[in-house]
Structure 1
Amino acid sequence: MGFDYRMRWSSLVVFMILGFSRVILINGEFPGPQIESITNENLIVSVFNSLDEPFLISWNGIQQRRNSWQDGVYGTNCPIPPGQNFTYILQVKDQIGSYFYFPSLGFHKSAGGYGGFKILSRSVIPVPFPPPAADYTILAGDWYNKNHSDLKAIADGGNDLPFPDGLLINGRGPNGYTFTVDQGKTYRFRISNVGLATSINFRIEGHKMLLVEVEGSHTLQNTYSALDIHIGQSYSVLLTADLAPKDYYIVVSTRFTSQVLTTTAILHYSNSQTSVSGPPPGGPTTEIDWSLEQARSIRWNLTASGPRPNPQGSYHYGMINTTRTIRLANSAQMINGKKRYAINSVSFIPADTPLKLADYYEIPGVFSLGSIPNNPTGGGAYLQTSVMAADFRAYVEIVLENQEDTVQSYHIDGYNFFVVGMDGGQWSPASRLTYNLRDAVWRCTTQVLKIT
């Protein structure tokens, strides 16, 4: 079975938070329409670019098995020219879960252009919780009143981005969005951090959240009063409306920032006669240990079915022998008088030809294969269109090291990985003794906290 979506991206100047901003709309909406699908369905998405600049859409968390030329990033796709269109053909094969789509070029994401994407289980596959009364999507993240072109110019000039002007929940500012619930019923909330540069903390006043899914993996059903959600991550929780009938704050605040930004939405009990009042409840701010402990507590539900009837735990990843270890360390360094960001001392510069096309057609001189080392060099950074070589179907251990004073998010486009360990300080071979080789969560995006 398949579905055909037609989506047109355009822009409009509207009043946002602190002033007028240029917002990228999808079919006249911000956020854009939600894509809803069921495991194994074929999706045809026709994207029309009504902007005045090239454009691409990426499908965050959607797996691209032998289909990487559909993932909508500069390395694999040619940008869609202004006034033109491109049709994506996606198959959500062997996949469930909560995701989103977003524009991947030129800081467009800072201007909107994103929307939710959920994949439901087939009716014959058991889900490890009763059907909720309703299923809500929350797209939250930082917002800049500067146009995306201005932010791009700042970064291209080798300067740090300014501090965000605020936070949005589903494209709205404080108390701008309401979710209505009936007392005594249970609801599913799919929450994604669609921001540009800031980790967030999510909480619902007075309520506990039962975590049930992370980026396509059913998790152990632990209860949380607040959840850290880093750039590009998606979480799915169940909330039971079991408190007194009134309105409650849904709160999003920044994490690991010197100034804490906060925004709110409203959880409205349908029989409520009382509006929210007073300040919203506070949450964690700069505590790294708090975030580390929470990350370690998020684990795979081994007995639950995923997209197939067999339990998730039937895949024994801990018994696989890895054949290669890659250590990747990020750094911020000056190159030619401009601040540049590097991995193992290589600061990537995009080529005019998408790397996938250059590889397929064997076009010489587009990228440099094997020019990024397997380990940090500790040396000065340099510019390179660098591609790391790998063996087909090899099992690889990837260590992500962050010695900077900022949180990093790492995403593997079109694929998932097991997060088997996370700790402070530097990695060593002895760190393997602490790996979770039984029920680590399988996901597409992970955080690397400061000095971890």
Structure 2
Amino acid sequence: MSPPPAPAAAVALAACILAVTAATLAGADDPYRFFTWNVTYGTINPLGTTPQQGILINGQFPGPRIDCMTNDNLIVNVINNLDEPFLLTWNGIKQRKNSWQDGVLGTNCPIPPGSNYTYKFQSKDQIGSFFYFPSVALHRAAGGFGSFNVFQRPQIPVPYSPPAADFTLLVGDWYKSGHKQLRQSLDSGAGELLPPDALLINGVSSPAAAPAIFVGDQGKTYLFRVSNVGMKTSFNLRIQGHQMRLVEVEGTHPVQNLYDSIDVHVGQSVAFLVTLDQSPADYAVVASSRRFGISPAASSPALLTATATLRYTGGGAPANIPMPAPPPEGIDWSMNQARSFRWNLTASAARPNPQGSFHYGGIATSRTMVLESSAPAIAGQRRFAVNGVSFVVPDTPLKLVDNYNIANVIGWDSVPARPDGAAPRSGTPVVRLNLHEFVEVVFQSTESEIQSWHLDGYDFWVVGYGNGQWNESQRTTYNLVDAQARHTVQVYPNGWSAILVSLDNQGMWNLRSAHWDRQYLGQQLYMRVWTPQQSFSNEYSIPTNAILCGRAAGLGH
């Protein structure tokens, strides 16, 4: 399936920046796609009961869908008409050699109110379903997110027949409180956010709000792209009377197993095929929150449900079959499903070679990091930490600090490689790693809630999940042959998840909790992947349009 033509917006902008872009982006002959996005507040009514202030892009909630092709050059001019700084990040887009465009506070200064910033990057060597979202000030709780789909080049086959069409489902939790009120709650030291009020599918809940409707023809097969764009809630997705054939996990192709329902954790994306093999009618597409064994007591989070409709052409009446039941609430069902996601070794990647041509299981690791999450009180305030260090956002992005050799900002290697039992503390940690290292990272949880971890700039292989405390003997349980590659991994309550990652993308990269209250209150760090052999083949220079703030203000490019 080919993407639609490039948008016609921002023709004037294209003329003035094309020359600069061609000089700084690889693959200058690859097509360019230009977007101009106006970010504003606007009234939305996702719950169908009480209007709220939302963040709109070009008047849309959710924001516009980006469709492009592998290696396309994306020029996205973001105009901030909010009353506070704003920044977008591109969840799962690898930004090859270009962490300058990552869109997080460690790499970019936020866009001031009334100003703009033009992102310039490639969808380099990627195929799949991704999304974008605001990365500062809890704006994510008010909107500003949208889908980002990268289609294959004609010469690169995907391992399934072209679907009749594809549908996007942006699913996430939602709060009645505005993003400023939520931020004030966290800033006050109250700790994590309270449970959300609802789930949304494509910006609406049901039954109070009109649900999304996906229309298809009997006998045809459709691709569903599903992303968890929420703040902190995992969900399970299922379709009444239909099975789902998993065909993509965050830009890679898995073994195509059939599922009755699929868990999707915060920050994750999947895509599956559904064949319309039932009688013409309306079938429910159901997302429900996952609590993982928490008893349904009054103090426990409520079970949240959102429903959309899969409508057969000529249908319109509800299907006369039972509604799909949610899976068991315990951890075991979900963990076993996660282990069933396996890398398709024979499928092509974004390049002609098969995914499995890189035999990751035969590579010796250069170092191991065991990163344990915690929720300590520091200076009387509830924070979140990694190995006892709670990240504090500096006044100057770390990428600028490193570029201009600004002293006394970065805490180099200040996060220990393993928990050391030291007193909780605040800091601005950056772990120094060498380009082309092959690293084992274990995410350890000693807490009773599920967590989700994301690494910008990379995919990694999820080689193991387990309960309790990780130790070296657990390596015998690793999948070293066809573990699923992805960029966001869940960690089950009081459990661990292990990944292997090949550090082949130079830059300053954010490793963070995808639960946005935890990220906001310090559960993150940065990884500086570097080599002394400086070259544009490794990393691009600072963009000429980079916003300079904090201690870098006035230094020039």
Give TM-score scaled by structure 1 length.
0.98
CA contact (8 A) 1:110 1:143 kept: yes
State the partner residue of 2:398.
355
**Distance in 2 (alpha carbons) for counterparts of 1:339 and 1:131:** 50
Query: Residue type matched to 2:308 in 1?
Result: A
Q: Distance in 2 between the 1:280 and 1:122 partners?
A: 39
Q: Distance in 2 between matches of 1:407 and 1:438?
A: 26
Residue 118 of structure 2: which of 84, 87, 91 is its match? 87
> Which deviations, in whole Å up to 9, do the C-alpha atoms of 1:55-80 show, x marking residues without a partner?
00000000112100101000000000
Residue 378 of structure 1 and its aligned partner are, at CA, apart by 3.0
* 1:280 shift after superposition: 4.3
1:237 aligns with 2:280: no
Matched-pair contact (CA < 8 Å) for 1:411–1:444: yes
Q: Displacement, 1:277?
A: 7.6
**1:283 Cα deviation after fit:** 0.5
The separation in 1 between residues aligned to 2:183 and 2:488, in whole angstroms, is 24
Who is 1:11 aligned against?
Answer: 41
Compared CA separation, residues 161 and 397, structure 1 to 2 (3 A):
same
When structure 1 is superposed on structure 2, of 155-164 and 439-448 the one drifting more is 155-164
The one-letter amino acid paired with 1:187 is Y
Q: 2:197 aligns with which of 134, 154, 165?
A: 165
Matches of 1:78 and 1:70, distance apart in 2: 11
Give 2:66's aligned amino acid. I
User: Which residue number in structure 2 is paired with residue 97 of structure 1?
Assistant: 128
1:60 aligns with 91
Post-superposition shift, 1:286? Answer: 2.5
Please, which of 330, 333, 341 is the counterpart of residue 373 of structure 2?
A: 330
Question: What is the CA-CA distance between 1:442 and the residue it aligns to?
Answer: 1.2
- With 149-158 and 324-333 compared, the bigger mean Cα shift is at 149-158
Q: Which residue of 1 aligns with 2:80?
A: 49
CA contact (8 A) 1:416 1:442 kept: yes
Q: Which residue does the alignment assign to 1:123?
A: 154
C-alpha deviation, 1:156, in angstroms = 1.3
Could you say which residue in structure 2 is the equivalent of 1:176?
211
Give the partner amino acid of 2:478. Y
* Match runs of 1:9-408 below 5 Å: 9-17=39-47, 18-159=49-190, 160-174=192-206, 176-256=211-291, 258=300, 259-275=302-318, 280-284=323-327, 286-408=329-451
Work out whether residues 240 and 322 of structure 2, in 8 Å CA contact, stay in contact via their aligned partners in 1: no
Separation of aligned partners in 2, 1:199 and 1:161: 15
Give CA deviations for 1:68-112 in whole Å, capped at 9, x if unaligned: 010100000000000100000111111110000000001000101
Residue-by-residue CA offset, 1:333-369 (whole Å, 9 max, x unaligned): 1112221100000011000000000011100011110
Query: 1:333 touches 1:380 (CA, 8 Å); kept in 2?
Result: no
Give the TM-score normalised by the residue count of structure 2. Answer: 0.80
Aligned amino acid, residue 205 of structure 2: G
Shift of 1:16: 3.1
Alignment partners' CA distance in 1, 2:369 and 2:397: 24
Q: How far 1:278 sits from its partner (Å)?
A: 9.4
Amino acid at match of 1:165: D
Q: Which moved more, 1:152-161 or 1:433-442?
A: 152-161
**Could you tell me how far apart the structure 1 residues matched to 2:328 and 2:177 are?**
25
Q: Equivalents in 2 of 1:451, 1:227: separation in Å?
A: 22
- Measure, in 2, the Cα distance between the counterparts of 1:279 and 1:53: 48
CA drift of 1:379 comes to: 3.6
Structure 2 unaligned spans of 5+: 1-30, 295-299, 496-557
Percentage of identical aligned residues: 52
Q: What are structure 1's unaligned runs of at least 5 residues?
A: none
CA displacement, residues 374-412 of structure 1 (integer Å, 9 cap, x when unaligned): 001234311111112222221111011011111111111
Which segment drifts farther, 292-301 or 252-261?
Answer: 252-261
Contact preservation (8 Å) 1:260, 1:285: no
Aligned ranges for residues 431-442 of structure 1 at < 5 Å?
431-442=474-485
Instruction: Report the Cα distance in structure 1 between the residues aligned to 2:328 and 2:424, rounded to whole angstroms.
Output: 32
1-structure distance, mates of 2:259, 2:317: 25
Contact 2:365 2:440 in 1 (8 A): yes
Equivalent pair of 2:169/2:225 in contact (CA under 8 Å): yes
Distance in 2, matches of 1:140 and 1:338, equals 31
Cα contact 1:209–1:238 (8 A) shared by 2: yes
Farther-moved stretch of structure 1 (321-330 vs 276-285): 276-285
Please say if residues 46 and 200 of structure 2, whose CA atoms lie closer than 8 Å, have aligned partners that are also in contact: no
**1:410-443 deviations in Å (ceiling 9; x for gaps):** 1111211111111111111111111111111111
CA distance in 1, matches of 2:344, 2:467: 26
Distance 2:98 2:119 in 1: 10
SS in 2 for 1:153: helix
State the secondary structure of the residue aligned to 2:383. Answer: strand
Q: Which moved further from structure 2: 387-396 or 414-423?
A: 387-396
Query: How far apart are 1:3 and its partner, in Å?
Result: 0.6
Change (3 A) 1:273 1:81: closer
Distance 2:320 2:146 in 1: 30
Specify whether residues 275 and 219 from structure 1 end up closer, same or farther in structure 2 by C-alpha distance, changes over 3 A only: same
Q: Secondary structure at the match of 1:419?
A: strand
Count residues in correspondence. Answer: 452
RMSD: 1.3
C-alpha spacing 1:278/1:332, structure 2 compared with 1 (3 Å): farther
Bigger mean CA offset, 374-383 vs 204-213: 374-383
Measure how far apart 1:273 and its partner are: 4.2
Separation in 2 of the partners of 1:20 and 1:377?
A: 48
In the TM superposition, residue 131 of structure 1 has moved relative to its aligned partner by: 0.3
